[in-house]
Amino acid sequence: MRGVEELLAIDQAHAWHPYTATINQDPVYPVRAARGCRIQLMDGRELIDGMSSWWCAIHGYNHPVLNQALRDQIESMAHVMFGGLTHEPAVGLVERLVALTPAALRHVFLCDSGSVSVEVAIKMAIQYHQARGEPGRHRLLTLRSGYHGDTFAAMSVCDPVTGMHHLFSRVLPQQLFAPAPACRFGAPCQDEDISAFTDLLWRHREELAAVILEPIVQGAGGMRFYSADYLRRVRELCHAAGVLLIADEIATGFGRSGRLFACEYADISPDIMTVGKALTGGYLTLAATLASQEVATTISAGTPGVFMHGPTFMGNPLACAVANASIDLLLARGWEQEVRRIQAGLEQGLAPCRDLRGVVEVRILGAIGVVELARPVVMRDIQRRFVDRGVWVRPFGRLVYLMPPYVIEARDLARLCAVTQEVIGETASG
Decide: 208 and 167 in contact? Cβ < 8 Å: no
State yes or no: is 230 an active-site residue: no
Q: Which span (39-47, 137-145, 195-203, 214-222) binds ligand PLP, by CB under 6 A?
A: 214-222
Q: Of 385 and 394, which CB lies nearer to ligand PLP in the complex structure?
A: 394
The C-alpha atoms of residue 383 and residue 83 are separated, in whole angstroms, by 45
State yes or no: is 248 an active-site residue: yes
Binding of residue 215 to ligand PLP (CB under 6 A): no
Q: What is the DSSP letter of 134?
A: -
Q: Is 262 helix (H, G, I), strand (E, B) or coil?
A: helix
Kindly state the smallest distance separating residue 250's Cβ from ligand PLP, in Å. Answer: 4
Q: What is the dihedral of CA 343, 346, 347, 353, to 10 degrees?
A: -160
Task: Write each residue from 272 to 301 as x if it is in contact with ligand PLP (CB under 6 A), else as -, in one continuous string.
Answer: ----xx------------------------
The C-alpha atoms of residue 425 and residue 419 are separated, in whole angstroms, by 10
Which one of the listed residues 248, 265, 271, 283 is annotated catalytic?
248
Q: Which of residues 350-409 bind ligand PLP (CB under 6 A)?
A: none
Among 251, 266, 382, 423, binds ligand PLP (CB under 6 A): 251
Decide: 420 and 78 in contact? Cβ < 8 Å: no
How many other CB atoms sit within 10 Å of the CB of residue 295? Answer: 26
Considering only the C-alpha atoms of the chain, give the largest distance between any 2 of them, rounded to a whole number of Å: 63
Among 60, 160, 215, 219, binds ligand PLP (CB under 6 A): 219
Minimal CA–CA distance to 406: which of 340, 347, 362, 319?
340
Q: What is the DSSP letter of 365?
A: E
Among 82, 128, 147, 254, binds ligand PLP (CB under 6 A): 147
Binding of residue 131 to ligand PLP (CB under 6 A): no
Q: Is 397 helix (H, G, I), strand (E, B) or coil?
A: coil
State yes or no: is 401 an active-site residue: no
Q: What is the DSSP letter of 180?
A: P
Binding of residue 145 to ligand PLP (CB under 6 A): no
Q: Which span (110-118, 128-136, 183-191, 395-403) binds ligand PLP, by CB under 6 A?
A: 110-118
The C-alpha atoms of residue 170 and residue 163 are separated, in whole angstroms, by 14
Alpha carbon of residue 133 to chain centroid: 33
Residue nearest to ligand PLP (CB): 114
How many other CB atoms sit within 10 Å of the CB of residue 300? Answer: 13
Q: Of 173 and 242, which CB lies nearer to ligand PLP in the complex structure?
A: 173
Q: Which span (68-76, 83-91, 222-230, 243-251) binds ligand PLP, by CB under 6 A?
A: 243-251
Among 214, 229, 271, 372, binds ligand PLP (CB under 6 A): 214
Residues of this chain that bind ligand PLP (CB under 6 A): 113-115, 118, 147-149, 214, 219-220, 248, 250-251, 276-277
Residues serving a catalytic function are 19, 147, 248, 277
